[in-house]
Structure 1
Amino acid sequence: MAHDYSDLYDPDADFDRHYTAATGTRIRRWFRPGDRVLELGCATGLMTSSFVARDVLVDAVERTPAYHARAAARGLPRATFHLADIDDFRSVHRYEQVVAAHLVNELPDPVALLRRIREEWLAPGGLVHVSLTNPRSLHRLIAMEMGVLASPAGLSDRGRSLATVEIFDADRLEELAGQAGLVCVHREPVLLKPFTNAQLAVLPDEVIVGLDRVAHLFPDNGALNYAIFVADD
């Protein structure tokens, strides 16, 4: 999993920062004071910075040296940044909250990671938070009707450059999680996306916030799917 695209992509400057903020806000609502949080694939620590605003302890894992250095430089209290590939990361702790935001779609075997989360890292009664690109996002459906995409799950050149292996919907995510011994207890969309990132980037931030607020009216068509899982004991 040693794909380094840090020279192509800045998570703090790209439009994706809006998805990071919106997803982080959703995730941290489930945090309880004193929880241990494991964040897998933290990049520059943008989402981590929203987590530590709650009274939690965060272990954040990032494989890319350039991103890890920027995350560590934030000097966030109650956050420890680990430079490691997820395959190599080991911890003596179990975690009440495990976060895999926009990660499983970069893996050739997402079930293996989800199983490892359940068996190795998740504390009893803990929650697993997963977000990923939604193939049923409005902008993808529009692109398909225009003939730009052959199918909603088609990979763009940008997606390939950012290590995307596959795009699958929330039902497929639940199916894969079930193979890993996890069951979904909550699911919701993140940000309604009618246009491409570049087209949305010219809009004021308050419009982007509005698109996120209205997403719940279109549960199958958000830009991202966000789901929470627990161990199927």
Structure 2
Amino acid sequence: MTLNEKNHLENIAQNSLYGAGANEKTVKYSFNIAQRYLTGTTLLEMGPAEGIMTELLAKTDKKLTLLEGSAHFCKDLKSRFPNAEVVHALFEEFLPADGITYDNIILGHVLEHVEDPVSILRNTKDWLTPNTGMLFAAVPNARSLHRQAAVLMGLLGSEHELNEMDHHHGHRRVFDPESFRKAFNDAGMTIDIFGGYWMKPVSNKQIETTWTDEMLQAFMALGERYPDISGEIYIVARNKQ
């Protein structure tokens, strides 16, 4: 499984589109939300990929550890972020040094990729500073307006069906608000906040063709008012003991 998974990640990394178009704006907006809850001095970012959020995290005062499964991405991250510790490993392989916990853990668009999200969350629970540590995770929302519209138009069989871009990104699932919360509950984590952002009525391609930056920012913010049908959903969780 390990070799196959690493090859899978390298194939995705060679033609990744997470840093392209509206996706870049989405990642940057998710940082704006995550930074509201940052605490302490240490931060583990899991799956930084092109390092879009990393660029913003590097401007905080946190000591960064970057955990990335793609050697292609790791090489780039090491050159761009020399002050960060870059670890090339699958999430399932990673073990912090004895006694080390992190005050913050960021999983931006991670849990839709992994084989077993609950197992990953159980691991991160052990890596998080008890009680005071903060975990921020964001994923695409199956109940997003653009997915609901795609079902009505017959482009998707259901809101949870993987579309063309899901396959390109290597997604294994699309969470809805209930299944997202359930993964954290099953992992024994305490959910402090559930929210959303990015009210997305149509596809990225349509948006990138006609929308202005002002429209993008307005609809990113509008999604915070209606999280259940926003394009992206997030959870802030802790390891309460």
Q: Secondary structure at the match of 1:129?
A: strand
Moved over 3 A (4+): none
Q: Which whole-Å CA distance do the structure 2 matches of 1:71 and 1:222 have between them?
A: 30
Q: How does 1:162-201 map to 2 (within 5 A)?
A: 162-201=169-208
Q: Residue 212 of structure 1 is aligned with which of 209, 212, 220?
A: 220
Q: TM-score, structure 1 length as denominator?
A: 0.93
Aligned residue for 1:58?
A: 64
Aligned residue for 1:82?
A: 87
Checking the alignment, whether the CA contact within 8 Å between 2:145 and 2:199 is kept in structure 1 is yes
Checking the alignment, whether the CA contact within 8 Å between 1:132 and 1:224 is kept in structure 2 is yes
Q: Structure 2: any 5+ residue segments left out of the alignment? A: none
- How far residue 161 of structure 1 moved from its aligned partner, in angstroms, is 2.7
Q: Residue 29 of structure 1 is aligned with which of 32, 36, 44?
A: 36
Checking the alignment, whether the CA contact within 8 Å between 1:138 and 1:221 is kept in structure 2 is yes
Q: Structure 1: any 5+ residue segments left out of the alignment? A: none
- How far residue 39 of structure 1 moved from its aligned partner, in angstroms, is 0.7
Q: Structure 1: which amino acid aligns with 2:49?
A: A
Q: Structure 1: which amino acid aligns with 2:74?
A: H
Aligned residue for 1:223?
A: 231
Aligned residue for 1:115?
A: 122
Q: Residue 98 of structure 1 is aligned with which of 86, 93, 105?
A: 105
- How has the CA–CA distance of structure 1 residues 154 and 10 changed in structure 2, closer, same or farther, with 3 Å as cutoff? closer
Q: Which whole-Å CA distance do the structure 2 matches of 1:227 and 1:183 have between them?
A: 10
Q: Which whole-Å CA distance do the structure 1 matches of 2:114 and 2:68 have between them?
A: 15
Q: Give the number of the structure whose residues are more often helix, by fraction.
A: 2
Counting matched residue pairs gives: 230
Checking the alignment, whether the CA contact within 8 Å between 2:129 and 2:239 is kept in structure 1 is no
Q: TM-score, structure 2 length as denominator?
A: 0.90
Aligned residue for 1:72?
A: 78
Q: Which whole-Å CA distance do the structure 2 matches of 1:172 and 1:61 have between them?
A: 25
- How far residue 214 of structure 1 moved from its aligned partner, in angstroms, is 1.2
- How has the CA–CA distance of structure 1 residues 67 and 15 changed in structure 2, closer, same or farther, with 3 Å as cutoff? farther
- Larger displacement relative to structure 2 (133-142 or 211-220): 211-220
Q: Structure 1: which amino acid aligns with 2:60?
A: R
Checking the alignment, whether the CA contact within 8 Å between 2:196 and 2:224 is kept in structure 1 is yes
Q: Which whole-Å CA distance do the structure 2 matches of 1:115 and 1:222 have between them?
A: 26
Q: Secondary structure at the match of 1:186?
A: strand
Checking the alignment, whether the CA contact within 8 Å between 2:13 and 2:49 is kept in structure 1 is no
- Larger displacement relative to structure 2 (152-161 or 138-147): 152-161
Q: Secondary structure at the match of 1:38?
A: strand
- How far residue 60 of structure 1 moved from its aligned partner, in angstroms, is 0.8
Q: Give the number of the structure whose residues are more often strand, by fraction.
A: 1
